[in-house]
Amino acid sequence: GTCAGAILLAQEISEGRHEGQPHLGLMDITVRRNAFGRQLDSFEAPVAVSGIPGLPLNAVFIRAPVIERVGPAVVVLGRLADGRIVAAQQGRLLATVFHPELTGDDRMHRFFLAL
């Protein structure tokens, strides 16, 4: 799941969840919606992702959530320089809080397809 998809996959949504808002709850993670601010606070940052060789990905964050907690079966794949979790995997499920589809780099998609 990408961005809002990560929210849908999360077992817990710590802030910003509306009563009755559907989510799948398939990954043992907690996410916080709009963790980086509003649309004007959108940004790009390099993110090294475990399992993806080469230079860090240029990650695009648009009103992005953040992964605040991961369970024991979840592998953290990527963090920002300040340590915040931005990519995680649980089995064949993948959550990113950034938008890999908005760049010309297809490595994140290839990683997902290889799961």
* 23 a catalytic residue: no
* 19 a catalytic residue: no
* 101 a catalytic residue: yes
Q: The tokens 């004007």 sit on which residue?
A: 40
**Quick one: how many helices (H) and strands (E) in the chain?**
2, 8
Q: Which of 15, 44, 99, 109 is flagged as catalytic? A: 99
Q: Give the bridge partners for 94, in sequence order.
A: 89
Contacts of 10 (CB under 8 A, 6+ apart): 23, 25, 27, 29, 30, 31, 67, 95
Q: Which of 3, 19, 23, 44 is flagged as catalytic? A: 3
- What amino acid positions are annotated as catalytic residues? 3, 99, 101
